Amino acid sequence: MEYGLINIINFFIVFFLLAPNIIFMKAIRFKEEKCKSKIILLTEQITRYACMILMVIPFVTKQFAFVSVNMFIVFIFGVPACLILYYIFWILYVKDMTYFKATVLAVLPTAIFLVTGISLMHIPLIVCALIFGASHIYVTRVNHR
């Protein structure tokens, strides 16, 4: 495994994904977990952490590299756009916790993981992102009924 600039960038992307969860956690009153499916909850957590790890560590591949210039452009504009939207929706969500805002907050990390995985053709990240997205959106839907 070789590490380079992409690993460092991806580390900061993961950091910026986690930051609002920590910052806004105090502002949000804790809601009871309505999703009772242990399998879905476990799948969500395992794939969440797998995505974060796979963003930084190039498993199955020697080194992260963009598939093409076009994929680099998609990554360089798509990920920051998703992060900016993620912060905006966190601020909006803290003010008024609606199902729509919660769903956007579930979709945006998935989009970041997918854009990164596709841009780097990192198949394990793509697979984990798809599973994480499905389980995270499901849990969000159940919790906001």
The predicted pLDDT at position 48 comes to 96
Q: Please check whether residue 4 is in contact with residue 58, taking contact to mean a CB–CB distance below 8 angstroms.
A: no
Given a cut of 80, whether residue 59 has pLDDT beyond it is no
Q: What is the mean pLDDT of residues 35-60?
A: 90
Given a cut of 60, whether residue 89 has pLDDT beyond it is yes
> How many Å apart are CA 130 and CA 127, to the nearest integer?
5
pLDDT band (50, 70, 90) for residue 62: low
**Rg, the chain, Cα only:** 15
The predicted pLDDT at position 29 comes to 65
Q: What is the mean pLDDT of residues 123-144?
A: 94
**Residue of 63, 81, 47 whose CA lies nearest to 6:** 63
Given a cut of 60, whether residue 1 has pLDDT beyond it is no
For the chain, give the percent of residues with pLDDT over 70.
94
pLDDT band (50, 70, 90) for residue 33: confident
The predicted pLDDT at position 144 comes to 83
Q: What is the mean pLDDT of residues 114-126?
A: 92
